[in-house]
Structure formats: structure tokens, C-alpha cells
Structure 1
Amino acid sequence: MEKFDWKLTIKANIFCLRVVGLWPHEGYKLDFYTVYAFVCLNVFINCRNFFQVANIFVVYDDLQALTGLMFASFNDVLGSVKLYYFVRQMRLFKRLMAQLDQDIFQPKTVKQIALVQPGLFSWKFVYVMLWSPIVMVLLLWVAFPIIDGTVKEHRLPFAAWFPYDTNISPLYEITYIYEVIGICVICTAHINMDTMTAALMMYVGTQCDILCDNLKNIKGADYNKKLIRCIQHHKIIVEFAKDCNTFFNVMVLGQFFVTTVSAGLSMFQLTLVPRFSSECYFLLFYVGSITVQIFVYCWFGNEVDIKCHNKHLVTLFSTK
């Protein structure tokens, strides 16, 4: 039977991570891609975050401006933290992806391939659906000065402090483009790191499906051999899940904390803006997008929990 390619499902995810400098072929080393990743991650993410955070000290006496700046900055700063841990755990992540190619993780029959397809499809569906509100927020965010006409006053999409006068052309246009590229890079990194975490959960769930099917089909003269194989598979799944938790536990903790704070600040900001204004719609889409972000973790985590409590796996626990 032809080898099943688990990475095919997350092909778009890997491509996006490679574009923003988060998917080296064999780890970061002194080559062109590492230089590209350094420029992309530091110039368009870390430097941009620094300029935004620095602006807090400029508007700290204006409550509305301060809350508006803080809720926008929280997720961006979190992005830098998530990037650090993602890059730091890259070797572990590459090892996990390589482990999926092992023979014991492979579906052995056409039935098992069909069995794992719903899990793979659900991940693809969530990936596309997660992009929808994010793209809407991005469009509203970068076009807001144009929509309300403040572009004539040299207003930038994001309030930030820069060490030069942004009211002067062409510095204003250059800074505007820089902020647009920066938010696109950081959102792409955010979404694909989150969905890659969900993909690892999805892989754990599909392995549980394969193991359950193997348990249901233990019969014949080689009963003991098949049972031992299932027990080995179970142990490897448990180790794989533990390594997955090691990879993303800090990122998930930070995401839940920052999303909660950002949602609270966004709802407060909604009370300060005019109803049915473009800024009001932007805030509503923003709250919706960060809620979906948390939903992704909860959904796939719950799927893993349900599949781990399958009656056939409980029988295996009892056997052990």
C-alpha cells in the first residue's frame, strides 16, 4: 500500500510558515533563509511591536487612546513571545513531523484512510474559516484611515511612535506600507502557529482512530502479535502527545491570557466609539476573530479527549 503523506493536509500551513521565515528545511543555520527569517521576524514584527509599545508612554494620559493602543499591542507582543518559543522548539517540532512518517503511524488499510479523513477535513475547514474573520479585520484595520478620510491628516493604520516625523511625505507613505506589511506578517505567523498546534492535536486524534480500528480487528492465529503491536502503538501515541504538549504548552497559556485581556479591552473600547461606525465594526470583527482563535484550541483538544476515552482504548488500559 502506498505510504500515506500526513504533511499533505498541512501543505498550505507549511508554505505560509516558510514565507514568514518560520520553516527552515533543516533548522536555522548560516544561510540565505536564516538571514531572510531574521529580517522578516525582527524588522516587520519585533521592531514594529517596539514602536507600538513605545507609543504607550506618549498617550498614557488619554484613556481612550491608551486602551485602543493596548488591546492592539497585546496580541502583537504575544506574537513575539510565541515566535521565540516556536523557533526555540523547532527541532522538537521537526522531530514530531518526521515521526509521523514511521510505519507504526501509517494507516494500513483503505478503511483506516477513510477513518482519518474526517479529522483531516475538519482541520482544513477550521483553517479556512479562521482566515475569514482575520482577513476582514486586516482589511478594516489597514483601510480605516482611508475609509474615514483621516489619511488626509496623515493618520497611520496603527498608532505608534517613530523616531521621525510621519506627517512628511514620502515618510508617511513608507511608514504606512511598513505597518501594512508588518501586520500581514504577524497575522500570518499567528494563524499558522495556532493552526499548526491544532494540527498536532488532530494527528493525535487520528492516531487514536487508527489504534481503535486495529484493536477491533485483533483476531486470528497472530492475536498476541497484533495485541503487542497495539500496545506499542499506544505507548508511542502517548509519548507523541507528551512531546506535543512540551512544544505548545507555553504558547497556548500565553494565547489564552492575552486573548482574555484583549477581549476585555476591546469590549471596553466598543463603549467609547460611535455605534455602527467603521471602528465599531472593526472591533466586533476583532473580538470574533480572537474568539475563534481560542475556539480552535478548545475544539481539537476536546476531540483528542473524546477519542482517548473510546471504549476500545479503555479496554487497552485495562489490559495493561
Structure 2
Amino acid sequence: MPSSKIDYNILDAINIERTFLLCVGYYPLHTKNKVFYLLHTTSFLFSISVGGGQFLSMFIQMMIDIQDLSKVSETLFFFLTHSTYMCKMVNFLFNKRRLIEIEDQLSQPVFYEFPMERLKILIRKVEATKTVALTFRIMCSLAVVLSCLMPYVDPNKRHSLPLSGWLPYNTTKYYYPTVAFQVTAVCYTAANNVNFDSLTWILITIASAEFDILKENLKNLDYKGDKLRVGKKFNDCVNHHKEIVRFVYKIESTFSKGIFLTFLASVVVICFTGFMMIIVPFLGPQFIFLAVYLSCMMTEVAVYCWYGHDVMTTSDEIGNFFYTSNWYESDLSLRQSMAIFLERTKKPVTLTGGKLVVLSLPTFTSILRSSYSYFAVLQHLYYDS
């Protein structure tokens, strides 16, 4: 006897990320309450001010140090990471309407009304992604703590600021207030950035889990039963597939530009971080910080590529799972619909960054190869000079 369908609030999967981004003013507000709207707007303006202030400070400092490669490198990898965050933020703000559409789509029963054994596929994959996201949060938190401690543990950076950047006043006179502001700003922007990434990863995971559920439904559909019942169940599968593809399209249209800029920046950041690691004392405080920072950048890109690759492979396996069923016992009138559906599933569903870079494992290896190539050039220039 088949298991009964149960209701599951799929939006709970993104509850942490949604709540945090709502509090900082980025996530769209659902209520029209004036008090909440005022608080939301105030948080948003604070976020923009903090992010924009950091951006300008680092940019001006790089212009001042333009002739010194090691100093520019020290600022540049922070600047690129922060620039990517700013671009993600702007992209996020421009796509607020799509976030509401994504929520509305996930609220449709086609995404969560399954027997418990199917629902476990979704829950298991989402929980695994949440574990990955938590690990990434811990790594980023460690990188932030190390960057903030650098002026106190590295003799070469004694009484310097945690972040390289130009400020329009005497920082020696107001050293501790400046440090407090920079530490707050770094923690704030890092937390926002992590939640942008985690939200995207979980949504991509939901898409791949839905494809896995669809595969199981097609595999276990008994085609020799009542013609009307079989036809309805098959049409449910076709509709499920359409909705998943539409969901993936919405994820891509919402986050694609931010992902592309992350990939683009990661090539340079990985390269410059590796370069900095060869010019600082081995196993010194700054070396350890750079190693953690490099791990964060590589993890961020690797996870995007991993989950994007998972969507591609799970969608590509739909036809194989269909053929393991007893489809040959189906009614002839249903086979035309089957043929059309299978033609549709022959092309795997892919996620891209900016419509230019496919999220896949080969893309990750390409990013690492490009980073190493630029690193080798920088290393050569440095030793020659």
C-alpha cells in the first residue's frame, strides 16, 4: 500500500538565510507595516553605507600604492572579494521580485507533496547542504578573526589596521575606534556574503533533489495498471519536470550574474593570495591567515561547481531511470507523450554564471588552472624585480 502524502514546508530550508538577509535589509519585506518598513529601510541604508565605505577606502589605497606590487597585492585580494560582495548585493536588490516568485513556486504542492520515502530524499540533501554551509560559515569566521587579530599577532603589522585602506583622518590618533569600525564592517559584510552563498546553494540543492524525486517516481510508476490512473500519474511527472526546469531558470536569472563575478574574481584572488603566501614568512601569522582565506575562496567556488554539476547529472539521468520501469506495458496512446517527454529530457539542465560559464566540476579545474597560470607570471615578475 503506497505511503500517504504529507505536507512539508520547503521554505524552512532557507529560513536562516532569509531571516538574516531580511534583518539587514536585503531580502524583500512581505508586510506593509510602517514600523517594519522603516526598520528594513534603515538596515538597508546602513548595509549600503558600510559596504560602499569599505569599497572606496580600499580603492583609494590601491591608487596610492599603485607602484608597489606587494602592497597592491595585499589590498587587491580583499578589494576583489569585497567588490564581488557589492555586485552580489546589487544583483540581489535588482532581483527582489524574483525571490518572491521563487518562494511562491516552492509553495506549490508539486514541490513537496510526496510520500515520506520520497520526501526523505529532499530532506537528506538539504540537510547535507546546510552542513556544508555551516562548515563554510566556520571557515569564513576563522578568516575574519585571523584578519582582525593580525595587527596584534604579527610583529610586521604592529599597530596597523586590520584592513588596508585610505581614511580621511589621522588613524593613529583614533586607532581603536577605527579598528572597532573595521572589525564590525568586516564581520557584517562577511556574514552577508556567506548568507548570499548559502541561500543560493540550498536553492540549487532543492532543484537537484526534485530531479532525484522525479527519477524515482518515473522508475516506480506501474504502467500496466488502470489507463486513466497511469496517464494521470505520468502527466504529474511531466508537470513536475516542467516546474523544476522553470525553478532552475529562476535561480539562474536571479543569481547568475553574482555567480559569474564570484568566479571571475576567484581567479585573481586565488592567484594573488598564492602570490602573497610566497612573500610572507612561512607558517607565520599572515601565512596562516592567507591559507585560511585561500581555503574559503576555493571552497566557495568548488561548492557552486559541485551543486551545479549535481543538477546537470541528475537531470541527465531522467531518461535512464524511465527505461528501468515497465514502460513497455503502457497503453499505446500514452507512448506518444512518453516520446515527447524523453526528447525533452535528453538535454541536461544546466546552471550558468552570467550565461557564460557552466557550473560544473570541469569549470572548477579551469579556474584553478587559470589562477596558477597568472600566479606563475606574478612570481616571475616579482623575482625579476
User: Which TM-score band applies after superposition, normalised by the shorter structure?
Assistant: over 0.9
- Counterpart Cα distance in 1 of 2:92 and 2:296: 22
Which of 250, 256, 266 matches 1:259? 266
In structure 2, C-alpha distance between the alignment counterparts of 1:27 and 1:198, rounded to whole Å: 26
Shift of 1:284: 0.7
Aligned equivalent of 2:195: 192
How many Å separate the matches in 1 of 2:318 and 2:249?
Answer: 22
Alignment check: 8 A CA contact 1:195 1:296 kept: no
Q: Tell me, which stretches of 5 or more residues in structure 2 are unaligned? A: 323-337, 345-385
Q: Distance in 1 between matches of 2:172 and 2:314?
A: 57
**Mapped contact 1:44–1:178 kept (Cα < 8 A):** no
Question: Does the alignment pair 1:10 with 2:17?
Answer: no
1:23 aligns with 2:47: no
Q: What are the within-5 Å matches in structure 2 for residues 154-233 of structure 1?
A: 154-168=159-173, 171-219=174-222, 220-221=225-226, 222-233=229-240
Change over 3 Å in CA distance of 1:43–1:102 after alignment to 2: same
1:140 maps to which residue? 146
Q: Percent identity?
A: 22
The one-letter code matched in structure 1 to 2:9 is: D
2:289 counterpart (278, 282, 301): 282
Q: Flag the 1:191–1:27 CA change in 2: closer, same or farther, 3 A.
A: farther
For 2:282, give the aligned amino acid: R
RMSD over equivalenced CA pairs, Å: 2.1
The one-letter amino acid paired with 2:166 is: W
- Alpha-carbon separation, structure 2, partners of 1:44 and 1:319: 50
| Change beyond 3 A, Cα 1:138–1:6 | same
Task: Encode CA deviations 1:228-263: one digit per residue, 9 max, x unaligned.
Answer: 121111111111111111111111110001011001
The equivalent position to 1:89 in structure 2, one of 86, 95, 108, is 95
* 1:318 and 2:342 are equivalent in the alignment: yes
Residue 56 of structure 1 aligns with which residue? 62
Deviates more, 1:1-10 or 1:86-95: 1-10
- 1-structure distance, mates of 2:149, 2:56: 22
Report SS of the residue matched to 2:279: coil
Q: CA deviation at 1:154?
A: 3.6
State whether residues 51 and 161 of structure 1, in contact with CA within 8 Å, keep that contact through their aligned partners in structure 2: yes
Residues 20, 41 of structure 1: 8 Å contact kept: yes
* 4+ aligned runs moved over 3 Å, structure 1: 27-30, 311-317
Contact 1:56–1:66 (CA<8 Å) still a contact in 2?
yes
Cα 1:281–1:29, aligned 2, differ >3 Å: closer, same or farther? farther
Correspondence 1:108 to 2:114: yes
Other structure's SS at 1:275 match: coil
The Cα shift of 1:52 comes to 1.1
CA distance in structure 2 between the partners assigned to 1:265 and 1:176 by the alignment = 25
The separation in 1 between residues aligned to 2:284 and 2:320, in whole angstroms, is 53
Give the TM-score, by structure 2 length: 0.77
- The answer as to 2:62 corresponding to 1:38 is no
Q: How much has 1:311 moved relative to structure 2?
A: 4.1
Which of 227, 239, 251 matches 1:244?
251
Give the equivalent residue in structure 2 for 1:74. Answer: 80
Change (3 A) 1:29 1:147: farther
Shift of 1:10: 2.3
Structure 1 range deviating more: 23-32 or 51-60:
23-32
Letter of the 1:137 counterpart: A
1:38: how far off? 2.8
Cα distance between partner residues in 1 of 2:247 and 2:297: 28
1:271 aligned residue: 278
- Alignment of 1:127 onto 2:133: yes
Instruction: Please say if residues 270 and 280 of structure 1, whose CA atoms lie closer than 8 Å, have aligned partners that are also in contact.
Output: yes
SS in 2 for 1:9: helix
Q: Matched residues in 2 for 1:39 and 1:319: separation? A: 49
Task: Say whether the 8 Å CA contact 1:107–1:210 is kept in structure 2.
Answer: no
Report the number of matched residues: 317
Query: For 1:139 and 1:66, how far apart are their aligned partners in 2?
Result: 22
Partner SS, residue 4 of structure 1: coil
Letter in 2 for 1:85: N
Any conservation in 1 of the 2:273–2:290 contact (CA below 8 Å)?
yes
Residue identity opposite 2:57 in structure 1: F
Q: Given residue 51 of structure 1, which amino acid in structure 2 is its aligned partner?
A: S
Which segment is superposed worse, 195-204 or 256-265? 195-204
CA distance, structure 1, for counterparts of residue 41 and residue 33 of structure 2: 9
Write out per-residue CA displacement over residues 284-305 of structure 1, whole angstroms, 9 at most, x where no aligned residue.
Answer: 1111110000011011111111
